[in-house]
């Protein structure tokens, strides 16, 4: 059992230094005591977040793999590393959001695994007030998963438990009394090998964590197809590179379309491809697009490969091919209980010219939570990062995603 409220507070000052010569490359570093960490390292993000929040750092037995969690920032997993403070920081952190005024639409702090609730759009949307037009001006992320602090229930060196109680009104004007519970656990080497059915070689460094996410009907009325029902939604934000490719395996022998590719306008054909049960999606952060795979097509695993930094990422999650999933599109003219189980997003410039990221996302959602008062639904979602020797990374990719690194990189040549 985890020890209750063990303190892990970090309060020492952080100084930001910038080389500002006319022809100098502008590279920020963070100084903590006598150690400097370059931007992009775990140490940089660790020091940045220490200054702004009571964060919790989960560590592997050897201390090299680390994961940052914050209950103040909606129980997010902000980032992780496989090689200590000097190692690459795998999550995308939106530094400017911490200093900016609160955004009425979304507090985009970043984080390589955040928990949201759906549906985003449709007849039972949680992001639009009843009767409003489904357009960006009226889109607002529910406070409980956007900018409100959560409760810390328990923690130790390997795991943390948090919860949140809230009420929301959906587009059908139904008041939903909700309790959310979220556990985050760092995985040891034996856990990684067992969950993925592979063996991590001695020339590869790894970090992984699992999240258990639970929604409880905290009210006195059932959630059904008349009132509408919410769903749990895990979203993983990662930093892109020029040649990063998202890989989404799918069932070839299932009926119906493989994927919805027009959430934010049709994804150009040179950015999404299909081949032998695998969907490829460019993740360079240069063109905004989102796709989704329905539950009868979706497998329980997706991933990405960044050849520039030699990082293989795997996500593992629950999928129930026979369950009801929610339509999350920003429209009310489609059946609300026919939706996707797995999503991927590539960030890019908006029509106005601005851009939040760049970043890319791999996402999974739970089925609709048709729950009676007191009932609960749990959705599990795990993230694995591997970096190092390409031959050993290739073995992991073949065992998990069913494709070689060479074929992933060839998808868009």
pLDDT at 413: 85
pLDDT at 35: 76
Do residues 15 and 31 lie in contact, with contact meaning Cβ atoms separated by under 8 Å? yes
Predicted model pTM = 0.90
Sign of CA dihedral 118, 124, 126, 127: positive
Low-confidence ranges of the chain (pLDDT < 70): 1-34
pLDDT at 14: 36
pLDDT at 34: 56
pLDDT at 335: 95
How many residues appear in the chain?
A: 413
């Amino acid at each position: 059992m985890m020890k209750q409220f063990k303190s892990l507070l970090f309060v020492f000052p952080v100084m930001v230094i910038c080389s500002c010569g006319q022809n100098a490359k502008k590279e920020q570093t963070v100084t903590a005591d006598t150690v400097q960490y370059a931007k992009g390292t775990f140490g940089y993000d660790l020091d940045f977040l220490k200054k702004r929040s009571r964060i919790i750092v989960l560590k592997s037995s050897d201390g090299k793999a680390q994961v940052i969690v914050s209950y103040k920032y909606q129980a997010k997993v902000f980032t992780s590393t496989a090689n200590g403070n000097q190692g690459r920081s795998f999550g995308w952190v939106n530094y400017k959001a911490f200093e900016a005024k609160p955004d009425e639409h979304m507090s985009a702090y970043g984080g390589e695994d955040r928990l949201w609730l759906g549906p985003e759009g449709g007849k039972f949307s949680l992001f639009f007030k009843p009767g409003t037009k489904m357009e960006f001006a009226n889109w607002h992320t529910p406070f409980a998963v956007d900018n409100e602090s959560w409760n810390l229930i328990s923690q130790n060196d390997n795991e943390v438990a948090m919860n949140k109680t809230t009420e929301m009104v959906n587009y059908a004007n139904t008041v939903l009394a909700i309790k959310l519970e979220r556990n985050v656990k760092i995985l040891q080497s034996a856990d990684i090998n067992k969950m993925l059915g592979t063996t991590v070689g001695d020339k590869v460094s790894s970090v992984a964590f699992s999240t258990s996410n639970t929604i409880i009907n905290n009210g006195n009325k059932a959630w059904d197809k008349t009132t509408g029902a919410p769903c749990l939604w895990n979203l993983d934000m990662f930093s892109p590179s020029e040649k990063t490719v998202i890989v989404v395996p799918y069932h070839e022998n299932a009926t119906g379309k493989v994927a919805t590719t027009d959430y934010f306008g049709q994804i150009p054909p040179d950015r999404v491809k299909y081949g032998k049960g695998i969907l490829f999606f460019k993740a360079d952060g240069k063109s905004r697009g989102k796709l989704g795979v329905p539950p009868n097509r979706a497998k329980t695993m997706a991933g990405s490969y960044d050849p520039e930094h030699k990082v293989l990422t795997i996500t593992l999650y629950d999928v129930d091919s026979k369950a009801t999933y929610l339509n999350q599109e920003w429209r009310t003219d489609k059946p609300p209980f026919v939706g996707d189980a797995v999503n991927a997003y590539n960030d890019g410039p908006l029509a106005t010219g601005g851009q939040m990221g760049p970043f890319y996302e791999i996402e999974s959602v739970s089925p609709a939570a048709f729950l009676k008062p007191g009932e609960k639904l749990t959705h599990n979602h795990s993230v694995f990062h591997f970096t190092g020797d390409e031959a050993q990374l290739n073995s992991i990719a073949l065992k998990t995603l069913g494709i070689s690194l060479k074929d992933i990189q060839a998808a868009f040549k």
